[in-house]
Amino acid sequence: MRHEGPIVRLRQLRLDRGGRTVLRDVDLEVPRGRVVAVLGPSGSGKSTLLAALTGELAPAAGSVEVLGQPVPQGRRALLELRKGIGVLLQGNGLLTDLTAAENVALPLRAHTALPEPVIRRLVLMKLHAVGLRAAADAYPRELSGGMARRVALARALALDPPLMIYDEPLTGLDPIASGVVMDLVRRLNDTLGLTSIVVTHHVHETLPVADHAIVIANGAIVFSGTPAQLQASADPLVRQFLNGEPDGPIAFDAAPRASEAA
């Protein structure tokens, strides 16, 4: 049965890595159907937040709910939850000895018992959705960076997940390929009825397609609102990040914080 509440709900979340607190006091709700941009400088904890959403990292305190349920700790239950989460990694993760079509087919072969003709048809549909049906038989080495990223996106969509997570989707892409990928994020979100969380430091390419933006800095969420509100914010933390200023309240050369578990 479809859960109609927020697709992600975080309550007083604290995340620790290596004995130190990376994020603290995180409260966040992601409504269905939205494209949410998670912004912040490198090392601010964006990828750590993703690890909590996919169950890779257990909370040190607080709660994480995804798709209407607490993220489970048991391996079998976690694998079942992850079928509903599509993840596009910045490194693509394509297997170089498989064609584009074979890469997209991997989740379908691993998690379904569908016959091969049906899998082939579904794969072509996913490749068509990202504009690459004609590249079905090409190998990753024969694709441009932007094309490879779109094949990885088609693979992430293979099981029709209601939630898509994009981890730095524009890394290594030129401005044109970046525009194509972000346009796809928006279009696929709307046409397929998805919810998308885009973790990135590419502000100007991401905000035009986002419904909501949050900024993470200094171990916490320092802004949550619409892209227009973000652009208008006078908060020194936000201004420093948006303007790329080396000096300000975000200390890029600060030593790692000690754990705040006490």
Average pLDDT over residues 63-70: 92
More confident of the two residues 5 and 206: 206
**Model confidence pLDDT, tens digit, residues 151-179:** 999 999 999 999 999 998 988 888 888 89
What would the two tokens of residue 17 be? Answer: 């890595």
Beta strands across the sheet bearing 8-17: 20-30, 8-17, 61-66, 69-70
- Look at residues 128, 86, 124, 129 and name the one whose alpha carbon lies nearest to residue 102: 124
Confidence bin at 5 (pLDDT 50/70/90): confident
% of the chain exceeding 70 in pLDDT: 92
Cβ-based neighbours of 141, under 8 Å, separated by 6 or more: 96
More confident of the two residues 260 and 219: 219
So what's the pLDDT on residue 228?
Answer: 93
Block residue for tokens 């194509």: 180
What's the mean pLDDT when you consider all of the chain? 87
Q: Do the beta carbons of residue 131 and residue 117 sit within 8 Å?
A: no
Write the DSSP string, 111-143.
Answer: H----HHHHHHHHHHHHHHTT-GGGTT--GGGS
Q: Do the beta carbons of residue 169 and residue 181 sit within 8 Å?
A: yes
Query: What are 220's strand-pairing partners?
Result: 217
Average pLDDT over residues 217-225: 89
To the question of pTM greater than 0.85 for the whole model, the response is yes
- Look at residues 68, 49, 52, 60 and name the one whose alpha carbon lies nearest to residue 21: 60
Within its chain, how far is the Cα of 121 from the centroid?
A: 27
All structural domains of the chain = 1-84+161-249+257-262 (3.40.50.300), 96-160 (no CATH)
**Model confidence pLDDT, tens digit, residues 97-117:** 999 999 999 999 988 899 999
So what's the pLDDT on residue 256?
Answer: 47
Confidence bin at 234 (pLDDT 50/70/90): confident
